[in-house]
């Protein structure tokens, strides 16, 4: 199983439903579903990725993710809580961020984030990236959908499904992997040139692209086909804000550093944390308010759906009564 085998050792071979009660479905994908779960012992709430494995090779694809989750803990990543492997059923249980991802936040609120909100997200994301990079992990898929928001105002890096664990900080990777709109040029180049490679600086570019996404509520190169996006990125086209004048000069300068085409000249996470755009943005209250607003909007949306369902049932009952 290679490097990821150590992560599999953390999995229990007992029945997960004896320890955790499955509640609402939070999402789904080709791998399976993500559900809210509650611990039967103390009522702890968490998120469980539920996977029905078809082959042993499928288990190996989750081994690297498990290695990252089970061997490292930090306040700005979604930490491992529990895990189970029983027959073909794999459960990966992590911290639940009730407000969802920042992509969810923007979708629900119907607006991009403010510059101050983005400052807080960027600072905390850099905290998480600095921790990962120091521990020889490249995330490889940083974007708003993979940065979660806790109700306490913490931004947490999540979804380590395509992360890479390096043997040392000097090691590089050459796999073409990630999401094109947020992909660093050196990663995109690996699709056609096997001599190219990259290191943890690729995550810094992706964070810069994410800042643009948060500022505009849309991904960079949003109006382009994925193939054209890759061509643009590989050729060194730098994503930009549609209306740079609407944002702070510090944000513009921050983006110019994060989106440096030459990876060797691109700052690392620790350096960018000291940039004026992020420096001192440790106050969680702003993001806690954002989380509260998002959760309230979710609650109102659920109430509206329930009202419509109730009205529909009432009309059906009335129609049935009229027929009688």
Binding residues for ATP: 49
Closest among 100, 99, 106 to 216, alpha carbons compared: 106
- 91: CB partners within 8 A, 6+ apart: 16, 20, 48, 49, 50, 51, 82, 83, 84, 85
Give all strands (DSSP E) within 164-272, no chain letters.
164-165
Which residue among the candidates 141, 151, 159, 193 is catalytic per the annotation? 141
| Residue 141 falls in the annotated catalytic set | yes
Q: Is 64 left (phi over 0), alpha (psi -120 to 50) or beta?
A: alpha
Residues making up the binding site: 49
What's the sign of the alpha-carbon dihedral 261, 264, 265, 268?
A: positive
Alpha carbons within 13 angstroms on the beta-carbon side of residue 319 total 6
Helix H segments across 3-55?
5-8
- Residues 266, 259: Cα–Cα separation, whole Å: 7
Q: Which residues are part of the catalytic machinery?
A: 141
């Amino acid at each position: 199983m290679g490097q990821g085998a150590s992560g599999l050792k953390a999995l229990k071979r007992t029945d997960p439903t004896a320890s955790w009660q499955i509640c609402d479905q939070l999402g789904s994908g080709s791998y399976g579903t993500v559900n809210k779960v509650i611990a039967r012992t103390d009522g702890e709430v968490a998120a469980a990725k539920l996977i029905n494995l078809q082959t042993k090779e499928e288990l190996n694809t989750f081994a690297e993710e498990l290695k990252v989750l089970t061997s490292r803990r930090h306040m700005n990543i979604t930490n491992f809580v529990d895990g189970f492997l029983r027959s073909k059923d794999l459960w990966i249980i992590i911290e639940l961020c009730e407000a969802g991802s920042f992509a969810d936040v923007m979708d629900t609120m119907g607006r991009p984030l403010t510059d101050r909100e983005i400052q807080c997200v960027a600072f905390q994301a850099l905290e998480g990236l600095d921790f990962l990079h120091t521990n020889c992990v490249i995330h490889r898929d940083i974007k708003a959908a993979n940065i979660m928001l806790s109700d306490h105002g913490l931004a947490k890096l999540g979804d380590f499904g395509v992360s890479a664990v390096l043997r040392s900080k000097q090691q590089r990777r050459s796999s073409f992997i990630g999401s094109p709109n947020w992909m660093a040029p050196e990663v995109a180049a690996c699709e056609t040139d096997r001599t190219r490679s990259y290191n943890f600086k690729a995550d810094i570019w992706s964070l810069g692209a994410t800042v643009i996404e948060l500022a505009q509520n849309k991904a960079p190169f949003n109006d382009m086909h994925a193939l054209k996006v890759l061509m643009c990125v590989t050729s060194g086209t730098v994503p930009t804000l549609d209306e740079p004048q609407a944002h702070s000069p510090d944000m513009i300068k921050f983006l110019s550093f994060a989106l440096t085409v030459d990876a060797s000249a691109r700052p690392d996470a620790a350096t960018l944390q000291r940039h004026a755009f992020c420096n001192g943005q440790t106050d969680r209250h702003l993001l806690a308010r954002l989380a509260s607003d998002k959760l309230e909007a979710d609650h109102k949306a659920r109430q509206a759906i329930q009202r419509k369902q109730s009205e529909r049932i009432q009309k059906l009952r009335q129609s049935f009564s009229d027929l009688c």
